Structure 1
Amino acid sequence: MLAFAHGFGGGDSAEPSSMHAARLRPFSNARRRGTTVVETAFVLPVFLIFVLSLIEFGHALMIKNMLRSATRSGARLGATDGNSSSAVEALVKQKLGAVMDPELASVSVKNAQVYDGGGTTPTDGQAIEALPAMEVADADPRQLFLVRARIAYNDVALVPMPFMQDVVLEGQAFIRHE
């Protein structure tokens, strides 16, 4: 009986104990607002970095796809008779002008007959870049050539990063002259 008088008994007491009342009282709004501000301060920067990284990655992929598309168009132009390497390079730069400053891109037309020889072929970017330049107007029928475009990532990045200074985006297309 004494337990019921002090509020420590079963739930049949008419008055709730002070311990139960303290547990049932909601948090004050000021205390909850402080918790929300602290949670936001921790989560918001991480979330924004994640979202901005996705945007930057998508932009880099768009530039890379545009480089590939422009070099394919240039290669198709160069494959036909009557076109020069300078016309191919101009077309590639014109196509790239839709998404970036085309003067920042390096466009070249290379002789790729080494791939027809059956020996060791260049596989990395430096070896491909070392292939000899060629004039497509002087190309023999069925001669393999390469149109290549390169640009430094930081030249087209939305937010250039110092640790990305050595990254180069490139596109290339191989085709035979008709």
Structure 2
Amino acid sequence: MQLCSRNAVDRRRRRGTTIVETAFVLPVFLLFVLSLVEFGHALMVNNVLRSATRAGARMGSTEGRTTADVEQYVKDILDGAIDPELAEIMVKNADVYDQGSSTPDSGQEIEALPDMEVSGAEPRQLFLVRARVAYNDVALVPMPFMSDVILEGQAFIRHE
């Protein structure tokens, strides 16, 4: 009989420990799970940006297409994953890569390349389709410390 009462006393003493342990572990666990989901979403958006620019560049490399056609095609592809109005889409003349001079290295230098009208491109002229979007604009849970992160995709191709 004494054994039963001793277990009951121990259970009463430990009654709140499960709640306290859960209070410590649950927020950390939820933060970890939500971070994984958010990271996966960011990778998905980045892959969609790269795929959309690649498809837009392929479409723009053919005769009879305009820059507006390319930009709209990229937006149509992006529409399945994000609001396409949040993305900045650029079509740039990439002849500088063929000229042998110093080539742009950073995203800002690439974006400083001259704009290009695809319908007026010469055969074999190199051009670039680039799309970028701020991470917090497309995040499931926007995070203040990620405000400077830009997701981007680009594709180089020659006009046919």
TM range (shorter): over 0.9
Q: Does 1:118 align with 2:118?
A: no
Partner of 1:149: 131
Q: Does 1:88 align with 2:67?
A: no
Structure 2: distance between partners of 1:44 and 1:162: 22
User: Which of 44, 47, 56 is equivalent to 1:74?
Assistant: 56
AA matched with 2:23: A
Please, which runs of 5 or more residues in structure 1 have no aligned partner? Answer: 1-20
Between the two structures, name the one with larger relative contact order (CA 8 Å, sep ≥ 6): 2
1:113-168: CA deviations, max 9, x gaps? 10111221001010000000001111111111000001111110011112222211
Deviation for aligned residue 1:29: 2.1
Deviation for aligned residue 1:78: 0.5
SS for the counterpart of 1:118 is coil
Root mean square deviation of aligned Cα = 1.4
AA matched with 1:30: R
Structure 1: distance between partners of 2:13 and 2:158: 72
Identical pairs, percent = 70
Structure 2: distance between partners of 1:79 and 1:106: 20
Equivalenced residue count is: 156
Deviation for aligned residue 1:31: 2.6
SS for the counterpart of 1:28 is helix
AA matched with 1:65: N
AA matched with 1:104: L
Deviation for aligned residue 1:28: 2.2
Partner of 1:50: 32
Q: Does 1:133 align with 2:104?
A: no
Report which of the two structures shows the higher radius of gyration computed on alpha carbons: 1
Structure 1: distance between partners of 2:42 and 2:85: 18
Task: Out of 161-170 and 138-147, give the one that drifted further.
Answer: 161-170
Structure 2: distance between partners of 1:62 and 1:31: 49
Q: TM-score, normalised by structure 1?
A: 0.84
Q: TM-score, normalised by structure 2?
A: 0.93
